[in-house]
């Protein structure tokens, strides 16, 4: 009985110590995502997403060591229904490559088309605009929401390049079709391909179709 009471006391003491440490320690920055807007200003339904703290503390060291991170953003428009929600369009996936820029003090972000931007400090939050699909699929009286998953992580780039070369040919030898295939291959990377990763998920509020497609 005495041993049992002593064990309970140790467990409680450990819980108290952990609680104090958690309160005393500053919260580490974590990747965050928020859906800011869903509109159809032209022929496509468009969403604006905000990413916060894109590079959490534990990934900063990787960047400083010259490693490359990949940011994968997946967005979907769903129709809200009483029994089973319906996916309105296929998922939209965008993959961005993050690494040191021409200057060691700058961070470079490269999109799937190869367009790169360098920052001395990343915008926080950083907006991303995505076109989800044809507005003709949205009905006035139905309700919709946007679901977003953002994943930041590391990839075995050498393995990705070797698989891409085997399927589409080497970049120096690739024709237009091979280059397109390589682009699609890289853009379609799955979360399971990440060696280390952190993810964040968000949903917009539910909106009537007429509020999305209004001028």
* Chain segment 150-183, per-residue pLDDT in tens: 999 887 554 444 444 433 344 444 444 445 444 5
Q: How large is the average pLDDT for residues 24-47?
A: 81
Please state, as a whole number, how many other Cβ atoms lie within 10 Å of the Cβ of residue 42. 9
* Chain segment 79-123, per-residue pLDDT in tens: 999 989 999 999 999 989 898 877 778 888 988 778 888 888 888
Beta bridge partners of 32: 52
Q: What pLDDT, on a 0 to 100 scale, did the predictor assign at position 153?
A: 86
What mean pLDDT value characterizes the chain?
A: 76
Q: What pLDDT, on a 0 to 100 scale, did the predictor assign at position 195?
A: 60
| Dist. CA 104–CA 91, nearest whole Å | 35
Q: What pLDDT, on a 0 to 100 scale, did the predictor assign at position 192?
A: 53
Q: How large is the average pLDDT for residues 140-156?
A: 90
Alpha helix positions (H), the chain: 2-24, 57-64, 157-168, 176-187, 209-213
Q: What pLDDT, on a 0 to 100 scale, did the predictor assign at position 186?
A: 52
Domains of the chain, earliest start first: 28-155+194-213 (2.60.40)
Q: What pLDDT, on a 0 to 100 scale, did the predictor assign at position 138?
A: 96
Counting every residue written for the chain, the total comes to 215
**Confidence tier at 12 by pLDDT (50, 70, 90):** very low
| Dist. CA 4–CA 58, nearest whole Å | 39
**Confidence tier at 146 by pLDDT (50, 70, 90):** very high
Q: What CA–CA distances, in Å, run from 181 to 10, 33, 57, 150, 168?
A: 60, 30, 35, 24, 6
Q: What pLDDT, on a 0 to 100 scale, did the predictor assign at position 102?
A: 75
Cα 124 → chain centroid:
15
Beta bridge partners of 207: 144
**Confidence tier at 208 by pLDDT (50, 70, 90):** very high
Q: How large is the average pLDDT for residues 18-39?
A: 64
- For residue 126 the two structure tokens come to 């950083």
Is pLDDT larger for residue 160 or for residue 65? 65
């Amino acid at each position: 009985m005495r041993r049992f009471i002593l064990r309970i006391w140790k467990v409680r003491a450990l819980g108290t110590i952990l609680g104090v440490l958690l309160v005393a320690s500053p919260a580490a920055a974590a990747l965050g995502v928020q859906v800011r807007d869903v509109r159809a200003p032209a022929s496509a339904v468009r969403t604006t997403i905000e990413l916060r703290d894109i590079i959490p503390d534990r990934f900063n060291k990787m960047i400083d060591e010259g490693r490359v991170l990949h940011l994968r953003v997946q967005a979907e428009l769903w129709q809200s229904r009483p029994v089973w929600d319906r996916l309105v369009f296929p998922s939209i996936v965008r993959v961005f490559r993050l690494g040191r820029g021409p200057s060691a003090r700058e961070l470079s972000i490269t999109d799937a088309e190869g367009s790169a931007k360098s920052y001395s400090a990343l915008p926080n939050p950083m907006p991303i605009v995505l076109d989800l699909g044809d507005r003709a699929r949205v009905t006035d009286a139905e309700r919709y929401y946007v679901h977003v998953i953002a994943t930041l992580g590391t990839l075995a780039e050498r393995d990705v390049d070797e698989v891409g070369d085997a399927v589409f040919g080497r970049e120096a030898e690739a024709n237009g079709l091979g280059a397109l295939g390589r682009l699609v291959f890289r853009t379609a990377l799955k979360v399971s391909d990440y060696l280390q990763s952190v993810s964040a998920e968000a949903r917009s509020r539910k909106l009537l179709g007429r509020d999305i497609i209004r001028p």
